[in-house]
Every structure is written in structure tokens, then in C-alpha cells.
Amino acid sequence: MNFELTEEQLAVQQAAREFAQTELLPGVIERDETQTFPLEQVKKMGELGFLGMMVDPKYNGGGMDTISYVLAMEEISKIDASASVCMSVNNSLVCWGIEKYGTEEQKEKYLKPLATGEKIGAFCLSEPEAGSDATSQQTTAEDRGDHYLLNGTKNWITNGNTASVYLVVAQTDREKGHKGINCLIVEKGMEGFVVGKKENKLGIRGSDTHSLMFTDVKVPKENRIGDDGFGFKFAMSTLNGGRIGIASQALGIASGAYELALAYSKERKAFGKPISQHQAIQFKLADMATEIEAARLLCFKAAHLKDQKKDFGKAGAMAKLFASKVAMDTTIEAVQIHGGYGYVKEYHVERLMRDAKITQIYEGTSEIQKIVISRELLK
């Protein structure tokens, strides 16, 4: 077992840190307040290779390992979790899904521009009445010979308006249950596809979350991913990897809040000395640092298993379950350490606290992670 990062991994970490500090930090408070998507910054992330990090270079990707992806996600999430959720969905749900299960034509047409950020992707599984219970798809993809007729509504879709390539999960044959579900690649501009309202959210307010409506959208058969009926397995298998991305996002939110609290505790004086010299604060910092380190190791473990092409479903679920709790706990303590200043926007920690909550909800709630983990334990 080797706990050292390679030179390449350290370089990726450094590049992501610099990018986050110079490009994402300015304006992050205003973007949160005005719910503005960091479009220019995301374009630059694409140019720097952060949107297709693990994609094979023959499809314009960075050909990097998953550990590098965890490192970059952590650094970007420390500063702007709205940018990092866009990055996570594009990398680990959309690019990975098409690269792993798509046809050569789909990779040429869709993966190549997605890997460079020329196009942004969205993953469309959740519906008004199918969140955790993902097999209850009400969106239908009726088989019409050479195409599917897509009808239905998707909810809470990350990159909903910014994306131009959408992986849409829909029911083709209800009698077959989850084996009658397909995943179709839908392009923005297809007739009958409308982007709905933007959500006004508690956290990650700069991210672009929309509902989507499909009315008799004709999707060519060649846009189906995998065999007929593979859509649910596709979604589950893709989410296994997505959860490593969200675990890393949670890790970054936690470590960002910790770094701010540590620095503040050395500056702020109370009772004649910096608050970092009071044991009440020291114990908080010790707990935060220990939990963050444990979350980081779980992320690395899941990423390592994925890179070794071993089963990583349980490890990814454990990483997400744990890191998202650490994000919540750490950000609450970071606000506490900042006292009154923690409750106002200029000090960033209140935003990180609001951003942390979603990591316990999307890409499978913490309760769903426990289902995934316990099923593996009881196999």
C-alpha cells in the first residue's frame, strides 16, 4: 500500500488549486446570491481538461486516473461546489457512461465534444415521483421502429439549461419492470424538448438545476445506450462512479471550511489570545481534520478500486455516505468557530454549510447509500 501521490497527481492537484483560487474564488459569493452559473469559468475548466479527465485521449480526454479526479474535485469544491457539480456530472456520469457503454459512433459524435467541454452533459434519471425509487420511471420511450417517442418530465437536473447532450432514462416496456427501461441520448433542440423552470435552491445556488419536459420527442434508435432494456442497469452502474465524484465534492466542501476555520482561529482573539489557543477550538479542529482525512482515504480507496477495474460500488457508496456527513458536520463547526462572522456571507463558511447538504441527497440519498452498502454486506 502506497499513500504517496505521484508527480502527475500532485501536478493535477496544484493546477486545480490554482484554477480555483484565481478563477472561481472571485465572484463566488455574488454568483451564489444571484444564482448565476459560472459559464466562463466552466469553459476554462474544459480548456484545462477538467471536464473529461478520465476519458481516453483518443476521444479528446485527459487519460487520467480516478485518484487525480478526486484530487481535482476536492480543490474545485473547496471554493465553488456549484462549478464542481457540473464537473462531476460531466466527467463521471455523462462522459464515463458513454465511454463505457456507448457505440463508436456515439463516442465520436458526443463523447469527443463532451470531454473537452465544448458541449456539457446532463444525466436525467430523477422525476417528480421517481427519486430514490428510480425504477418507478413515468417518462416513456415508446418503440416506433427506427426511433423512440419520448414523453415525460425530469426533475432537479444538474446542467439542465447549460447542457446540450442529455442522457435520459425512460420506460419502454412497463411489464418488464426495470428490464424495460432504456437510456437515450437526447440533444438540445430536438423538437418537443423544452427546458423548464430553474430551481431556487438552499445551496449550490450557482449550479444550473432545471426540470425538463419531453413531448413526443423523436429520438433515433442509434441514440440508445446499450441493448434494449439496459437503461436501468446503465443508470445504476454509472451512478456507482458518480458517487465517487460527489464524495470528493463533499470532501472538498469539508476541507475548504476547515481551512477557513483554521486560518480564522489563528487571527481572531478572545480572552487575550487567539481562539486557536483555547482547547474548545483545538478539539473542534482536531475532530474536523481527523474526519476529513478519513473521508479522503475512503475516496482514494473507491477511486483506486475503480482504477484497478475491481468492484467499487460498495466503496463508492461508503465514501459518499461518510464524506457527505463529514461535509455537513465540518461546515457547521466552521460556522461555529467563526461565531457571528460565520453567519454572514463574506466569510464563505455559511455558503459551504448550505452547499454541504445536497451531498447527502443527490446521486442517492444517504439512506440509499446504506441500502447499497448493506446489500453488499449481506450478499
Nearer to ligand CAA, 233 or 357 (CB): 233
Binding mask 197-216 for ligand CAA (x = CB under 6 A): --------------------
Q: Is 34 in the site for ligand CAA (CB under 6 A)?
A: no
Q: Is 178 in the site for ligand CAA (CB under 6 A)?
A: yes
Which residues, including other chains, have CB under 8 Å from residue 288's CB and lie 6 or more apart?
254, 257, 258, 261, 329, 330, 333, 334
- Per CB under 6 A, the list member of 241, 252, 313, 342 interacting with ligand CAA is 313
Which residues, including other chains, have CB under 8 Å from residue 124's CB and lie 6 or more apart?
154, 157, 166, 167, 168, 169, 186, 212
Q: Is 239 in the site for ligand CAA (CB under 6 A)?
A: yes
Question: In the window 83-102, what residues touch ligand CAA (CB under 6 A)?
Answer: 85, 89
- Per CB under 6 A, the list member of 19, 166, 300, 362 interacting with ligand CAA is 362
Q: Which member of 127, 363, 367, 376 is catalytic?
A: 363
Nearer to ligand CAA, 85 or 219 (CB): 85
Q: Could you tell me which of 154, 28, 10 has the C-alpha nearest to residue 83?
A: 28
Q: How many residues bind ligand CAA (CB under 6 A)?
A: 23
363 is catalytic: yes
Q: Is 43 in the site for ligand CAA (CB under 6 A)?
A: no
Question: In the window 106-145, what residues touch ligand CAA (CB under 6 A)?
Answer: 123, 125-126, 132, 134-135
Contact 248, 69 (CB under 8 A): yes
Contact 89, 132 (CB under 8 A): no
379: number of Cβ within 10 Å: 6
Residue 142 bridge partners (DSSP): 149
User: Least distance (Å) from ligand CAA to the CB of residue 98?
Assistant: 15
For the chain, the straight-line distance linking the first and the last C-alpha, in angstroms and rounded, comes to 27
Which residues, including other chains, have CB under 8 Å from residue 352's CB and lie 6 or more apart?
81, 253, 256, 257, 260, 331, 334
Nearer to ligand CAA, 102 or 231 (CB): 231
Distance CA 194, CA 338 (A): 44
Catalytically active residues are 363
- By CB under 6 A, name the binding residues for ligand CAA: 85, 89, 123, 125-126, 132, 134-135, 158, 178, 232-233, 236-237, 239-240, 313, 362-364, 368, 371-372
